[in-house]
Structure 1
């Protein structure tokens, strides 16, 4: 919502907007005082309150995690994104702001990620990482500029040829409708490419809807664009008997394609289960006093398990799944050890009131620096490591890491659900479902 400035002393008032803003302020104040236990005799229409809450991001009853609200849950034939906001409730149960206002306190920074995965001294200069998402983020380029400026990363703009945003047909216009949840996803993806591969160019392809058919058109556009060496997909949906008919859209020789394994714990989503992608699971990443300087465990929300429809690839040899097993590799995804992201696309106009409305679920979007996780973080990280490696001419599917396991950090603890304690949901030495073969230790496995 754009603000209208009223000249000082003017008697002209835009009454409909004033009434709307008054109702919005009243709703925010009511909710704040209710949370602190103070009774407030302001009548809010139940239907209006229900409408506001129904448009808010989805909160998990078991963990308090809040996803980006990208069509959750996804309906048949549609996809949802896999970004998760950090749980912002304090020990007393009160909410703290969704925005920190600081690039140094919102979560892991580019220097942290490059340290954790031993990516120092690598450069993907001249190579392009493509991001496929649904809907439009109108602030994508300006928010990307703010993120890169905050961390001293080189400029990446349309003007200097580093950044391009196109629709699913590869055209600069018309772009899809804006969506607050998908805008957060887009900001996350762009920022993770920037953090992992600061020298890479970035192509953002926006599908016109969350329908799989539109996303497949965007996928083909991304993979066929000159200079693209990897494509990240931070979205997915439940498997059904139609998924194998779409797999060919991920089969692009010489282009590494990654897909998030999901954020709902043990269980499989597609396209992570496609044999033509590198399925990326998730970890909890913490600083440590060991020789690496970091330690990782399986993130409880990472997806994993056995596909019900996709055939077993020849390069997978685990015995617990007769068909395709998820995941292949992993990277940080736990929102409680999350990454810093900058996003300003919202429907409350910015400022203190906007922050309050966002944290109470009365408005949508974000208003600056947020700490986020989800396997939406890990997928663009791995796509960017592929770009850093510069080896994708050899890639036709997700097999390459399986023959280069010595260049991965083996994750051996943590679980994402109940599967009888087997490797399918429990991290163990060697291959396991939640973390795959492990996380990058340099670029040698990619």
Structure 2
């Protein structure tokens, strides 16, 4: 997790569906210097931040009647229930589930008494943005905010747990934003540079087509061919009147998206992209290609939909605020995110005793609000196979690789987007590959040729050890419990100066990831137009493609059915049970026995591929029938 991600509040976090409650620190009784930053010993303290520097933080308030909210969400996605698809407006949500205006005004007054400024209270009544100088925050919270250097970059963070007044504790779930450490990674992968494999060549569609039929240069036109989207286009369903939203942590050049659509021969409206820069917005940086491809894919699948991009700084506050801004605006009918990190990174056992599960609860509240308002949400499941920590903590550095899943994909109120490899043949220096059936994406087929350094690149998927199995996965054949014997070990003490081991819970009946899958293997991957990378680039992949593709598909289905379909997981699992698989059914089953480095693709549900892949036109027809 890096440096402090939040202020330790004085009451245990109200973490709802989380598997356990972690005792909180009583901030009212903690002296400012008693709890040290767990990473201080591994970073160079550059001294106090400039006293006059203005910084911002966000107070996330607790949802009221969380159980009632959970029940209402279930009702809105239960066909035949009187509340089926009776989604709330933002003001209705705030009136029913946010703190009262009287309580919010009291909190605002308390913040002012601390010498800080309230900049914004989101319309949903759950996110309050606060600003002040470093000196004002130091004084108000009895802390010292310093600048640090670690791993070649500098950032700002409190040296120790700040002290906040008791008066805020009853209503505040989490306070985030006093640091500027990176919060998440984009989930994008490029084709590997292995012996005998030339760099992927850019192939553009021929005149009259938007598809290339070329692995590594696939476009949204190829996606439409693979997953039965074309029958919707033939009926005039193009996402017109719908809005897709992208939550991201880097800025981008919107002209790249227009160049992509134009370059593949796709007609789209002008000026369809609107940017909302949350907390000042993200930067043009290494993550900008993620934002670019998210917009290109979602907007290409739904070529007449409007697009709103919520870009924020890559910090804890930026990531959380972007979601709260998006759901408070309630403009996007569907949202996708292709950034994340291992869910266990938030646990105290992974942070030298410092608990960050209040952040998980803060995210979860935003996702529950989205569900109550009928916003479909999709998150990339990760690109490290069944071993999500391996990307950040590789075995080569002395870390073990336990079975783990990525967040926010593991949250029960978001649809986790998994990845596949579609059929292709290729010759490499060490041998030939001939994949004849779509399978879960894992580069074990390259490792089997003798190539090294590829473990465990592939689709994320597995079992959460934090979120219990949600109601819509109950009774679904193929669900797994967490495996035994899984431990995260830092054998060299690289994180906190001394070695440690965290033993993951065994046999926990957790949320299973993924839910739906589509092509994500860079070897059968995609074109991206990115001017910062010279224009057209082939060989992109990762589950970060699948999340925005599903986002665009949701826009098509919303237009086809005539209204928002909302949080789609309960209906997906219901359709899998009742209608099943086949060319005339909503889903294709992946069951060839291949793996995502651990979980096997078997008939029905499995964590390697989720329910399977969508037959989009059939899925849309089934959802319209339920309407």
TM-score using structure 1 length: 0.68
3-state SS of the aligned residue for 1:108? coil
Q: How far does the alpha carbon of each residue in 1:48-78 deviate from its partner, in whole angstroms, 9 at most, with x for none?
A: xxxxxx99xxxxxxxxxxxxxxxxxxx9971
Determine if the alignment matches structure 1 residue 327 to structure 2 residue 469: no
| Corresponding residue to 2:608 among 431, 434, 444 | 434
3-state SS of the aligned residue for 1:194? helix
- Residue number in structure 2 paired with 1:166: 276
- Residue number in structure 2 paired with 1:143: 256
Count of residues paired in the alignment: 331
The CA deviation at 1:152 is 2.0
The CA deviation at 1:126 is 1.4
The CA deviation at 1:197 is 1.6
Does the 8 Å contact 1:132/1:206 carry over to 2? yes
Does the 8 Å contact 1:86/1:335 carry over to 2? yes
* Alignment map for 1:3-402 (pairs within 5 Å): 78-91=183-196, 96=198, 100=202, 102=204, 104=212, 107-122=217-232, 123=237, 124-137=239-252, 139=253, 141-158=254-271, 162-168=272-278, 174-179=280-285, 181-208=286-313, 210-239=314-343, 240-241=346-347, 242=357, 243-251=360-368, 252=370, 253=372, 254-266=374-386, 267-286=404-423, 295-300=437-442, 301-317=458-474, 318=476, 319-321=479-481, 322-346=509-533, 350=534, 367-390=535-558, 393-396=564-567, 398-402=569-573
CA distance in 1, matches of 2:295, 2:540: 13
The change in CA–CA distance for 1:415 and 1:76 in structure 2 (over 3 A counts) is farther
The change in CA–CA distance for 1:125 and 1:148 in structure 2 (over 3 A counts) is same
CA distance in 1, matches of 2:364, 2:276: 23
3-state SS of the aligned residue for 1:154? coil
3-state SS of the aligned residue for 1:345? helix
Does the 8 Å contact 1:237/1:269 carry over to 2? yes
Where in structure 1 are there 5+ consecutive unaligned residues? 1-53, 56-74, 289-293, 351-366, 419-424
Does the 8 Å contact 1:219/1:249 carry over to 2? yes
CA distance in 1, matches of 2:538, 2:551: 22
3-state SS of the aligned residue for 1:228? coil
CA distance in 1, matches of 2:465, 2:381: 15
The CA deviation at 1:186 is 1.1
The CA deviation at 1:383 is 1.4
The CA deviation at 1:394 is 4.2
> Of the two structures, which has the highest relative contact order with CA contacts closer than 8 Å and spacing of 6 or more?
1
3-state SS of the aligned residue for 2:255? helix
Q: Which has the larger radius of gyration?
A: 2
3-state SS of the aligned residue for 1:100? coil
Does the 8 Å contact 1:244/1:310 carry over to 2? no
Aligned-residue CA RMSD (Å): 2.7
TM-score using structure 2 length: 0.49
The CA deviation at 1:401 is 0.8
The CA deviation at 1:213 is 2.4
Q: How far does the alpha carbon of each residue in 1:190-211 deviate from its partner, in whole angstroms, 9 at most, with x for none?
A: 1111332212221111012x22
3-state SS of the aligned residue for 1:399? helix
Does the 8 Å contact 1:85/1:335 carry over to 2? yes
- Residue number in structure 2 paired with 1:38: none
The CA deviation at 1:98 is 6.9
Does the 8 Å contact 1:88/1:98 carry over to 2? no
Does the 8 Å contact 2:516/2:610 carry over to 1? yes
Q: How far does the alpha carbon of each residue in 1:329-385 deviate from its partner, in whole angstroms, 9 at most, with x for none?
A: 111111110011111125xxx5xxxxxxxxxxxxxxxx4333211000111111111
CA distance in 1, matches of 2:385, 2:312: 27
The CA deviation at 1:101 is 7.5
Where in structure 2 are there 5+ consecutive unaligned residues? 1-151, 154-179, 206-211, 348-356, 387-403, 426-435, 443-457, 482-508, 581-585, 621-627
The CA deviation at 1:443 is 4.3
CA distance in 1, matches of 2:181, 2:469: 24
